[in-house]
A = this chain, B = another copy of it.
């Protein structure tokens, strides 16, 4: 568990998109985002107060989060001086980069001397159990996609926000590096050893109040040749009571697989439900979350209406039009 609140390190981000981890934290856990720290040439801006390490310390910050990704996931030499200073000033560091903080000899040495923690959320820090398939108390919802990167994480975060606004008990459960940095906890599922994947999700979503919802962050797609095993384990470990279908209608092929067309929402519904009912026979598909970022407002509304009519399910773009329809469907279940 990463200690909060955070100072968001934007480094020398070449543009706003490179700082999407910081953006996620600022959007979804604004109470964790006390300030930002930018180096010369940084082109990203979260609209947060720019702080020195000393100012952040005075404001109660516990952890400097690397909120920027750079080419190859490398920890830049330009960053090193600042990261070392942060450790010396009493901050922990948290990173989701492919190259690990702990593998940088200078950072590891300073962390050891200062007694600070290096959180590399790219890889697991827990020895997960093998899944036992036993039914747990409480309710769980999972977004499954026609493809990778169609907005499953944002769907779960939008739903969490709406559920909290309604006073419902709900917890976003992160299964990827960005989600873990946003919430400070979770399972980096893509880095878990095969035998323990489903068990890691059981561990992440334990027994809870009967009226509590875990909003499990989706990963991959049952139809994606590279990552479908991860999705399968997520469904079987998560034991969802409800599934949301996630889709990005303008994509011409599966992400990273030029030869593969996207499946239809019907095909996704049928396969995901068959698979989910192995572990939870009561599971239902309750709605559709469409990522309409590449459509005009008129196109998006038209597409959503068409999907609702065709599938007989509420459909929305939760980021653009709110998650109320999806939360209504959960509440009705």
Contact = CB atoms under 8 A, between A and B. Distances in A.
Contacts of A254: 133
Contacts of A194: 189-194, 197, 229-230, 233
Interface in A162-188: none
Given A198-B229, A228-B233, A133 B260 contact: yes
Contacts of A195: 190-191, 226-227, 230
Contact of A232 (B199, B229, B263): B229
Contact of A228 (B189, B232, B256): B232
A226 B130 contact: yes
Interface in A305-322: none
B223 A233 contact: no
A275 interface: yes
A193 B190 CA distance: 7
Contacts of A222: 232, 275, 278
Interface string A225-247: 11111111110110000000000
Contacts of A135: 259
Contact of A198 (B132, B199, B226): B226
A257 interface: yes
Contacts of A279: 225
A278 B223 contact: yes
A274 interface: yes
Contact of A132 (B189, B197, B237, B257): B257
A131 B229 CA distance: 11
A329 interface: no
A230 B191 CA distance: 14
Contacts of A274: 271, 274
A134 interface: yes
A87 to B, nearest CB: 29
Interface in A193-207: 193-195, 197-199
Nearest to A221: B278
A218 B198 CA distance: 19
